[in-house]
Chains A and B, each alone.
Chain A
Amino acid sequence: MNRRTFIKYSFLALSTFYGINLLANEQGAELSPLPSIPVGGIIRPPGAITDKILRAKCISCGVCVNVCHLMKYDSIVIAGIDDFNQLGTPIIKDMRDYPCALCMECPRHCPTGALQQVEKENVKMGMALIDFSLCFGYNGDVCLSCSKACPLGASVFEFYNSNWGNQPYINEKCVGCGLCVKYCPLGGSAIKVVTIGQYRKIRQGYISGFKEILAMTEEQRYNLVYNNNLPQIMARGRLIEREYR
Chain B
Amino acid sequence: MPIDKIRKIVLMAILFLFTLQFFGIKFLSGSLTGSLLLWDISLIDIFAYLESLFASKELTTKALYALIPIFLLYLIIGRAFCGWVCPMDVFFNLLSKKKFNDEKKIINNQRERLLKKIGYGIAIFLLIQSAVIEIPIFTNYMSHLTNFFRALTAGVFSLLSLPFEKSLLIYSLSAILFLLILELIYPRLWCKSLCPIGKTYGLFNKISLLRLSIVKDTCIQCGSCNESCYMDIDIASNTDKAFLRDSNCILCGRCVDACDKKAKTLSLKFRR
Give residues in A with beta carbon < 8 Å to B: 4, 7, 18, 21-22, 25, 52-53, 55-63, 65-67, 69-70, 72, 74-75, 77-82, 85, 87-89, 93-94, 97-98, 109-114
Select B60's contact among A21, A93, A97, A112, beta carbons within 8 Å.
A112
Q: Are the CB atoms of A79 and B165 closer together than 8 Å?
A: yes
Going nearest first, the 3 A-B pairs with the smallest beta carbon separation are: A61-B34, A80-B167, A80-B165
Q: Are the CB atoms of A59 and B165 closer together than 8 Å?
A: no
Residues in B neighbouring A57, C-beta threshold 8 A:
52, 55-56, 58, 60, 136
28 contacting pairs across A/B (C-beta < 8 A): A22-B166, A25-B158, A56-B57, A56-B136, A57-B55, A59-B33, A59-B49, A59-B140, A60-B136, A60-B150, A61-B31, A61-B33, A62-B34, A62-B153, A63-B29, A66-B22, A69-B21, A70-B26, A74-B163, A78-B165, A78-B168, A81-B167, A88-B146, A88-B168, A97-B163, A98-B162, A111-B62, A112-B62
Residues in B neighbouring A111, C-beta threshold 8 A:
30, 34-36, 42-44, 62-63, 66
Which A-chain residue is minimally distant from B134 (CB atoms)?
A56
Q: Are the CB atoms of A62 and B149 closer together than 8 Å?
A: yes
Known A-B contacts A111-B34, A111-B63, A111-B66; A59 and B29 likewise in contact (beta carbons under 8 Å): no
> Is B106 close to A, CB under 8 A?
no
Q: Mark B17-56, 1 if CB is under 8 A from A, else 0.
A: 0000110101001110111100100111100110110011
> Is B187 close to A, CB under 8 A?
no
Known A-B contacts A59-B34, A60-B146, A80-B166; A112 and B134 likewise in contact (beta carbons under 8 Å): no
> Is B223 close to A, CB under 8 A?
no
> Is B185 close to A, CB under 8 A?
no
Which A-chain residue is minimally distant from B162 (CB atoms)?
A74
Complex CA–CA separation, A63 to B70 (angstroms)? 16
Q: Are the CB atoms of B150 and A112 closer together than 8 Å?
A: no
> Is B135 close to A, CB under 8 A?
yes
Select A82's contact among B58, B63, B94, B167, beta carbons within 8 Å.
B167
Complex CA–CA separation, A82 to B163 (angstroms)? 16
Residues in A neighbouring B35, C-beta threshold 8 A:
61, 63, 111
Q: Are the CB atoms of B135 and A55 closer together than 8 Å?
A: yes
Known A-B contacts A63-B35, A70-B29; A56 and B56 likewise in contact (beta carbons under 8 Å): yes
B55 to chain A, nearest CB (A): 4
Q: Are the CB atoms of B52 and A112 closer together than 8 Å?
A: yes
> Is B178 close to A, CB under 8 A?
no
Known A-B contacts A81-B167, A97-B163, A113-B62; A58 and B29 likewise in contact (beta carbons under 8 Å): no
Complex CA–CA separation, A211 to B45 (angstroms)? 53
Q: Are the CB atoms of B158 and A22 closer together than 8 Å?
A: yes
Which A-chain residue is minimally distant from B159 (CB atoms)?
A21
Complex CA–CA separation, A76 to B159 (angstroms)? 17
B90 to chain A, nearest CB (A): 10
Residues in A neighbouring B51, C-beta threshold 8 A:
59
Complex CA–CA separation, A54 to B207 (angstroms)? 35
Which A-chain residue is minimally distant from B165 (CB atoms)?
A80
Residues in A neighbouring B150, C-beta threshold 8 A:
60, 62, 78, 88
Q: Are the CB atoms of A66 and B135 closer together than 8 Å?
A: no
Given contacts A78-B168, A97-B163, A110-B62, 4 further A-B contacts (CB under 8 A): A56-B57, A60-B139, A60-B140, A88-B141
Q: Are the CB atoms of A58 and B136 closer together than 8 Å?
A: yes
Q: Are the CB atoms of B166 and A59 closer together than 8 Å?
A: no
Q: Mark B147-170, 1 if CB is under 8 A from A, else 0.
A: 001100111011100111111110
> Is B171 close to A, CB under 8 A?
yes
Residues in B neighbouring A113, C-beta threshold 8 A:
60, 62-63
Complex CA–CA separation, A144 to B162 (angstroms)? 28
B194 to chain A, nearest CB (A): 19
B185 to chain A, nearest CB (A): 20
Complex CA–CA separation, A97 to B51 (angstroms)? 35
B130 to chain A, nearest CB (A): 9
Residues in B neighbouring A77, C-beta threshold 8 A:
157, 163-165
Residues in A neighbouring B24, C-beta threshold 8 A:
70, 72
Residues in A neighbouring B49, C-beta threshold 8 A:
59, 112
Q: Are the CB atoms of B52 and A56 closer together than 8 Å?
A: yes
Among A21, A61, A74, A79, the most chain B Cβ lie within 10 Å of the Cβ of A61
Among A21, A77, A80, A82, the most chain B Cβ lie within 10 Å of the Cβ of A80
B197 to chain A, nearest CB (A): 12
Select A81's contact among B48, B135, B162, B171, beta carbons within 8 Å.
B171
Q: Are the CB atoms of A87 and B36 closer together than 8 Å?
A: no
